[in-house]
Amino acid sequence: MLLLSQGLRREATLLLQDAPEVVVQKLIAGRHDPLPAAWLDTLRRIRGVSSARGRLWGYYYDPAIKANYTLMVAPERGLAADEIVVGAALARIRQIGVGDYLSLRAADGRPLSLHIVGVLDSASELLGADLLLLSETGFRQLFQLPPEVYTDAVLTVRNPREASTVAGKIALALPASRPILRAEILRTYDAVFHWREGMVFVALGSLLLAFLILAWDKAAGLSAEEKREIGILKAIGWETGDILRMKLWEGTLLSLTAFLVGYLLAWWQVFHGGARLFAPVLKGWAVLYPDFRLTPAVDLQQILVLLAVTVLPYIVATLIPGWRAAIIDPDAAMRG
Amino acid sequence: MIALHEVSKVFNQGQPNECRALREVSLRLERGGITVFKGPSGSGKTTLLTLIGCLARPTAGRITLDGRLLSNLPERFLTEVRRHTFGFVFQQFNLIRGLTVLDNVMLPAYPLGKPHRELRDGARALLDRFGLGAKADSRVEWLSGGEAQRTALARALINDPAVLIADEPTANLDSALSREVLALLGELATQGRTVLISSHDPLVFEAVQVDRIIELHDGRMVGDSRC
């Protein structure tokens, strides 16, 4: 769980490195509203802004597969009005490919038939699983969007360290705007994955508690055979300290081995096995789950914390009964 | 030399189930030879051996080893004396299951911190001497009664103790194996070790290897004869 959410946070951070530094939205009554094209000129005039570009994107619900597509205009692709590029997961689930047609229902109720000219690389699936790229004309036709508005605007700033100052100037110049900084998006992703991680931890809490009780019980109670063995060791010349040292080594080796095997299995499961166990909870809320592999990562601090909460209690749990058994009189062995 | 002066041992003292296992026993055990403590069950043989072997302390009286008073030594020093002076062979052999014969033999020497190779060579030499060389890597639960007894003997000797204490060493063996064990103990005694045996088996106290028989009854010493 920790590995998966850490991997997802890391992946999101890497991907958002290339995201625009500032995104500007228009708000009406606290809700997102199309941004007037005239705002772009105002934004370009603000000191510190090097460029401002209007973006067109939105969501489309496809009742055929009960999934939401993310639609985006990609001017750099030079698509014609009836041409689209689709995400790998979308193509997979709709069983369509290059050369096929995808029919969408426009906002005025008319069907819009779009010619697929490309499928997005599966390497970009984290971002593009449910993505549909189209031309500006196609997008405006589909959603019946007037030509003088955009979904939002993206800005680049001359000095990225001044992004928050620029955001302040935007809020002053355009009071109905909401500037969003890249750092804020990163923080939101981080919080979302932390929140989901926490939710699963709560759900697994009872299971963990049951496991801890079982582990404690197994570790804390010595069997009659173990007590007999400790008695023999005392009788043949071992001191209480020797027995405690042996128990310490035994507990450390056992719990460390179990920890390492468990960690390696979890690591393999998350980074090579597709994290099938927790992926549905952590990966997203869409129907079109992206199929991607996380970049393997190891966090030393996380390992140390896990060690502290698993290995140390086990060692302590084995030492106490070991000590209790080791202080018996050595003549007990002589008496059977 | 081991000397006991008016040694008594009381279990559960002051409680309703108080048991007087030994009553004012005084005796001197010279170095070397085989001494057998004879007596019926409950006569105090095993208790006496645990006191001599520093496995327990007397309730009253004094025990000395070569003039050094043992009965008031703290646990740590008592363990030290026990490790270097005494080797034990228990009635139930008390070998640790799951370990090999070799590991069992080496066990008493681990706390002394000897180099492992030296320890292993010493243990193998002992096993060869007792005809168990081929069984060194076998697990102890696969051994016959005689083999288990010889393994216990080898374990008792790994720290080269001056005194070997054997509690009812023939109790779980048939006559042939009992004679074999007695022959081994006799051999150890002729090499200068002091062998102390508790037994109520006539085969033991009638054996030619025995030098002295001390008889106990109800915790008192009732006889002392030299053979």
The answer to whether residue A3 sits within a structural domain is no
A228 in the same domain as A173: no
A181 in the same domain as A138: yes
Higher pLDDT among residues B202 and A89, named by residue: B202
- Please state, in angstroms and as integers, the Cα–Cα distance from residue A236 to each residue in B93, B164, B195, following that order: 12, 12, 16
The answer to whether residue A211 sits within a structural domain is no
Cβ-based neighbours of A329, under 8 Å, separated by 6 or more: A234, B55, B56
- pLDDT reading at A139 higher than 80: yes
The answer to whether residue A13 sits within a structural domain is no
* Domain edge (last residue) among A187, A210, A238: A187
The answer to whether residue A283 sits within a structural domain is yes
A177 in the same domain as A98: yes
Cβ-Cβ contacts under 8 Å, B55 against chain A: 235, 329-331, 333-334
Give yes or no for B99 touching A (CB within 8 A). Answer: no
- Of B55, B107, B159, which is closest to A331 when you measure between CB atoms? B55
- Closest approach of chain B CAs to the CA of A245, in angstroms? 10
The answer to whether residue A209 sits within a structural domain is no
Find the mean pLDDT for residues B154-170: 92
Whole-number Å distance between alpha carbons of B213 and B134: 36
Question: What is the per-residue DSSP string for A203-246?
Answer: HHHHHHHHHHHHHHHHHHPPPHHHHHHHHHHHHTT--HHHHHHH
Whole-number Å distance between alpha carbons of B64 and B70: 5
A142 in the same domain as A52: yes
Find the mean pLDDT for residues A175-180: 91
A246 in the same domain as A170: no
- Closest approach of chain B CAs to the CA of A325, in angstroms? 16
A116 in the same domain as A230: no
Predicted ipTM of the assembly: 0.86
Q: Tell me the residue range of the domain where B158 lies.
A: 2-226
**Cβ neighbours of B26 (radius 10 Å):** 12
A91 in the same domain as A178: yes
Domain count for chain B, please give it: 1
pLDDT in tens, B43-99: 999 999 999 998 888 999 999 999 899 878 888 888 888 888 999 998 888 899 999
- What DSSP character marks residue A95? T
Q: What's the CATH code of the domain at B25?
A: 3.40.50.300
H/E run at residue A89: helix A88-94
Q: Whose CA is closest to A27, among A35, A38, A19? A: A35
Residue type, B188: L
A125 in the same domain as A252: no
Question: What is the per-residue DSSP string for B41-96?
Answer: TTSSHHHHHHHHTTSS--SEEEEEETTEE-TT--HHHHHHHHHHHEEEE-TT----
- pLDDT reading at A254 higher than 60: yes
Tokens read off for A280: 């549905």
- Of A232, A237, A242, which is closest to B96 when you measure between CB atoms? A232
- pLDDT reading at A336 higher than 60: no
A294 in the same domain as A152: no
A279 in the same domain as A183: no
Bin B33: left if φ > 0, else alpha if -120 < ψ < 50, else beta.
left
Burial label for A254, CB within 10 Å (0-12, 13-18, 19+), is: middle
Residue type, A330: P
Domain count for chain A, please give it: 2
Q: What is the largest CA-CA distance in chain A?
A: 98
Q: How long a stretch of residues is chain A?
A: 336
The answer to whether residue A54 sits within a structural domain is yes
Give yes or no for a contact between B173 and B149, defined as CB atoms under 8 angstroms apart: yes
Of chain A, the percentage scoring pLDDT greater than 70 comes to 78
Whole-number Å distance between alpha carbons of A40 and B181: 104
pLDDT in tens, A217-239: 766 677 778 888 888 888 888 88
What is the number of CB-based contacts under 8 A between chain A and chain B?
Answer: 55
Higher pLDDT among residues A216 and A177, named by residue: A177
| Contact at CB, B155 and A225, closer than 8 angstroms | no
Residue type, B53: G
- pLDDT reading at A241 higher than 70: yes
pLDDT in tens, B116-131: 999 999 999 999 988 8
A241 in the same domain as A146: no
H/E run at residue A118: strand A111-119
- pLDDT reading at A197 higher than 70: no
Give yes or no for A148 touching B (CB within 8 A). Answer: no
Q: Tell me the residue range of the domain where A38 lies.
A: 20-187
Q: Which of the residues A234, A236, A242, A331 would you substitute to probe the B interface, choosing the one with the greatest number of B C-beta atoms within 10 Å?
A: A236
* Domain edge (last residue) among A167, A187, A207: A187
How does residue A159 score in pLDDT terms, banded at 50, 70 and 90? Answer: confident
A174 in the same domain as A292: no
How does residue A195 score in pLDDT terms, banded at 50, 70 and 90? Answer: low
Q: What's the CATH code of the domain at A91?
A: 2.40.40.20
Q: Output the pLDDT for position B4.
A: 93
Q: Which of the residues B54, B90, B155 would you substitute to probe the A interface, choosing the one with the greatest number of A C-beta atoms within 10 Å?
A: B90
Q: Output the pLDDT for position A122.
A: 63
Return the CA Rg of chain A: 30
Give yes or no for a contact between A27 and A176, defined as CB atoms under 8 angstroms apart: yes
Tokens read off for B39: 């007596």
Query: What burial letters (b/e) apply to A26-55, b meaning 16+ CB within 10 Å?
Result: beeeeeeebbbeebbebbeebebbeebebb
How does residue A157 score in pLDDT terms, banded at 50, 70 and 90? Answer: confident
